[in-house]
Chains A and B, each alone.
Chain A
Amino acid sequence: MKLYWNYFIMELKSQMQYKASFLLTMIGQFLTAFTTFFGIQFLFDRIDGVDDFTYGQVLLCFSVIMMSFAIGEMIGGGLAVFPDLLREGSMDRILVRPRSILLQIIMPNMDFSRLGLLAQAAIVLGIAIPASSVVWTWQKVVVFILMILCGSVIFFCLFLLVASISFFTLQSLDFMDIFTYGMRDFGKYPFSVYGESILMFLTFVIPLALIQYYPLLYLLDRQNGILYILSPVLSLFFVIPSVLLYKIGLSNYKSSGS
């Protein structure tokens, strides 16, 4: 663990070497993310609710996805360097070191400018919680925390999936961003507003609804079935195919080289 802490410090040191760039990116992140926030704001100036969710409830949704995304991206966003690692052959360097391969890629590529995004998500959360008219109990607090944590894991897995595909293509495929950045934008409204088939897709294929729509219904006292409460935990099954694809990709790399 000490090692990974040191990796962390090393990366922070490296990024701090370019102080201006670091700060500007962070502020930029902070500001651009607000455009989405204002988007919601303006929309609700005109209408009262989306698909029987109020402004505050949509904001709650938005902040959960934002926060999950910010954490997931801070940790996993660096996986976007995968294609470069493979092409430049830096992957070989990682393979000749006696440590976990995935951690060796993640740690030096952590992006702390994402802290801006995280701060912004926290602010929106601060607005959303009083506005959402949720009656909080300790069970709900636990579910809420699970939504964010499991959501971070799902977003991380999405980054891992997209990165693993480059084991096969050796190129970054920009359209794959739909599954990462696209999902973040998608997730600012409760997924049910997009219709039944998309909700099913986001339940069984990419289980983002399990950390957003279903537990939200529980928080709002519209459902109290055990499945709704446990849905964030169930979403963790998504880790299995993600890690599997990564493992297959890695062994493919080891048999084919770059």
Chain B
Amino acid sequence: MIEFTEVSKIYRVAKRQAGMKNAVKSFFSRQYNTVHALQNVSFSIRDGEMVGYIGPNGAGKSTTIKIMCGVLTPESGTCMINGRVPYKERVAHVRDIGVVFGQRSQLWWDVPVIDSFDLIRDIYRVDEKTYRKNVSELADLLDLGEILQTPVRTLSLGQRMRCEIAASLLHNPKVLFLDEPTIGLDAVSKLAVRKFIRELNEKKGTTIVLTTHDMQDIEALTERVLLIGRGRILLDGKLDDLKKHISERKTMVIQYQGNPPILMKEMTQTESSQGRMKVSFDPGEISVSGAIAYFAANTELLDVSVADISTEEMVAELYKEYRL
């Protein structure tokens, strides 16, 4: 059970010019810009749930994950995970969680993967029997086989990511945080990783929190989506409901000749290029035929199509709606 109650986090970012003199000066007195990374964020995640955590860059995703991992201390509010406050009981808390930072490795660069695993076993004090079982299980599911004997620096990104995920699960964590687990992977590796994550959640009931910019990850994995922007939770709900909420708005692509049309005030423009424009509107306010009639009357219309909204577009749409 993960519970966030009114969590706020403020960063003070130092203003500083380059150079040794300024470095010394700023060591003694500094000026700060205040950044509200999280503002009164509340949500709760049940055991065994799989949640996609999305939002544009700089929205507060990483901050939230870091608080949940016990790396950061929030300014106000409380975060409770399995009855513990992560940043107060760091050692006890991190024993129960696994973390994969997609862009950073937890494996030792110069030694074979299995040596890293052995060391992680010692760090988490996993007993030998459980460890052997987990390694063979994970090697099987993630198809690690010979990779285990290879030094990490010679692995491909896809191979490395599979090893990273295995490494974060050696101690049977109850909660797994995945920060962009599919970043930079090729299609085959992505599919393998997704399949594994889904099975892990279904079979072992591991709670999974996933941040990603890849909407296919979200589509393939999570039912529930949390959208964060400018430090606030903007939406919390099922993917399908969100889609309904958005796709009740229609997306229309028009191609025209001459000057671009002036839009009706109920319409929002989502894309525009020479002679082509994509707009969205709520059919409750303007009917589809009304919109077509409007464009027909105001421009030299070449083509019209009403597109089905994809998850990708849905999210872009959401970002736009909330001006992120």
Contacts and interface: CB of A to CB of B under 8 A. Distances in A.
A6 B72 contact: no
Interface in B71-110: 71-73, 75, 87, 90-92, 94-95, 97, 99, 101, 104, 106, 108-110
Contact of A98 (B71, B94, B111): B94
A92 interface: yes
Nearest to A175: B20
Contacts of A14: 108-111
Given A88-B104, A97-B94, A255-B73, A169 B119 contact: no
How many of chain B's residues touch chain A, expressed as a range?
Answer: 35 or more
B94 A173 contact: no
Contact of B71 (A17, A88, A95, A171): A95
Interface of A: 2-3, 6-7, 10, 13-14, 17, 88-93, 95-99, 108, 165, 168-169, 171, 173, 175, 251, 254-257
A93 B101 contact: yes
Contact of A3 (B87, B104, B108, B122): B122
User: Which 8 pairs from chain A and chain B are nearest by CB?
Assistant: A14-B110, A3-B122, A98-B95, A95-B71, A98-B91, A254-B73, A17-B110, A92-B71
A6 B111 CA distance: 13
A6 B122 CA distance: 8
A173 B23 CA distance: 9
B122 A93 contact: no
Contacts of B23: 169, 171, 173
A96 B96 CA distance: 10
A90 B108 CA distance: 12
B72 A13 contact: no
A95 B11 contact: no
Given A96-B97, A254-B72, 17 more contacts: A3-B119, A3-B122, A7-B119, A10-B108, A10-B111, A14-B108, A17-B111, A88-B104, A89-B104, A93-B99, A97-B94, A98-B91, A98-B95, A99-B91, A171-B23, A256-B11, A257-B66
Nearest to B93: A98
B169 interface: no
A95 B70 contact: yes
Nearest to B115: A10
B63 interface: yes
B12 A93 contact: no
Nearest to B118: A6
A17 B106 CA distance: 19
Given A3-B123, A98-B123, A169-B23, A92 B66 contact: yes
